[in-house]
Amino acid sequence: MEYRVISNRITAVEKDQVLGEITFPDCGPETVVIDHTWVDPSLRGQGVAGQLVKRAADALRSTGRRARVTCSYARDWFERHPEEADVLVDGWEKDHAACRLGR
């Protein structure tokens, strides 16, 4: 599995086919909103979504940006990995979680 960072999107790619993605569009000068995580059903439960969120956190950290979280999967992931929450804006727990289905 190869992970590609393209602006505010990270994809999980195998044989040139996108099998997962996380998106985090800008919502301020140094802030993004993690709004969508998707993994192909054939790969669910194999840690791909977790890798996408981790890589997004690493990308934000490396650029000094912080995130709000409206994706329900990413919200749960950060709750399970509080050591990664340094990239989240203060009060992120109060952000309204939403689930965007499909691609």
Q: What is the pLDDT of residue 101?
A: 43
The string of pLDDT tens digits covering residues 64-93 is 999 999 999 999 999 999 999 999 997 655
For tokens 């890589």, what's the residue? 55
Contacts of 44 (CB under 8 A, 6+ apart): none
Q: What is the pLDDT of residue 90?
A: 77
Our count of domains for the chain comes to: 1
CA 23-64-67 angle, to 5 degrees, is: 40
Residue 100's pLDDT band, with cuts at 50, 70 and 90, is very low
Nearest-angstrom CA–CA distance, 49 and 13: 12
Residue 60 forms part of a structural domain: yes
What CATH number is given to the structural domain containing 59? 3.40.630.30
Q: Provide the domain limits for residue 31.
A: 2-94
Residue 87 forms part of a structural domain: yes
Residue 100 forms part of a structural domain: no
Which SS3 state, helix, strand or coil, does residue 48 take? helix
The string of pLDDT tens digits covering residues 24-63 is 999 888 999 999 999 999 998 999 999 999 999 999 999 9
Q: What is the pLDDT of residue 99?
A: 45
Residue 99 forms part of a structural domain: no
Q: Which two tokens stand for residue 91?
A: 């009060």
